[in-house]
Amino acid sequence: ILLSQKELLQFSYTLETVNDQPVNVLYSRNWSNKDLPVVMVVPGNPGHGGFYVEYLEMVVEECEGKLRGCVVSHVGHSPAQSRVFNVRDQVLSKMAFIKEQLEPDTKLYLVGHSFGAYLILQMIEKGVEAEKSVLLFPMFDSMAEMPKAANLQKMLQYQIFITGIAWLTSLLPYTLRRKMIQFYLQRFSKNTQDHMAYTIFELISPASLNNVFGLAQNELAVVREPNFKLIQKHQESLVFYYGMFDMWAPLNCLRKLRKNVPEVKFHIADSDVSHTFMFGSCRKVARKTVQLITDDLPYDMTNLLPNVDEVKAAAAEQDYDFCED
Q: What is the pLDDT of residues 237-276, one digit of tens each?
A: 999 999 999 999 999 999 999 999 999 999 999 989 999 9
Decide if pLDDT at 299 tops 70.
no
Q: If you ran DSSP here, which 8-state letter would residue 234 be given? A: T
Query: How sure is the predictor about 320, in pLDDT bands with cuts at 50, 70 and 90?
Result: low
Q: Which residue has the higher pLDDT, 279 or 113?
A: 113
- Contact between 109 and 209 under an 8 Å Cβ cutoff? The reply is no
* Cα atoms in the Cβ-side hemisphere of radius 13 Å centred on 298: 5
Residue 77 has a CB neighbour count (10 Å cut-off) of 26
Q: For strands 12-18 and 21-27, give the pairing.
A: antiparallel
In this predicted structure, what is the pLDDT of residue 307?
Answer: 56
Where is mean pLDDT largest: 101-105, 188-192, 308-312, 313-317?
Answer: 101-105
Identify the weakest region by mean pLDDT among 65-79, 171-185, 205-219, 225-239. Answer: 171-185
Cα–Cα distance for residue pair 218/88, rounded to 1 Å: 9
pLDDT > 70? residue 141: yes
- Residue 313 CB: number of other CB atoms within 10 A? 12
Q: What are phi and psi of 241, to 5 degrees?
A: -120, 105
Q: Hey, CA dihedral for 174, 179, 180, 181, is it positive or negative?
A: positive
pTM for this one?
Answer: 0.88
Higher pLDDT: 4 or 24? It is 24
Q: What is the mean pLDDT of the chain?
A: 87
Q: Is the pLDDT of residue 165 over 90?
A: no
φ, ψ for residue 299, nearest 5 deg: -95, -30
Give the pLDDT of residue 3: 41
Which carries the bigger pLDDT value, residue 53 or residue 166?
53
List the beta bridge partners of residue 72: 25
Q: What is the pLDDT of residues 7-31, one digit of tens each?
A: 444 456 789 999 999 999 999 989 9
Distances (CA, A) of 143 to 55, 106, 213, 263, 275: 25, 33, 14, 24, 15
Lowest mean pLDDT among 58-62, 145-149, 154-158, 175-179: 175-179
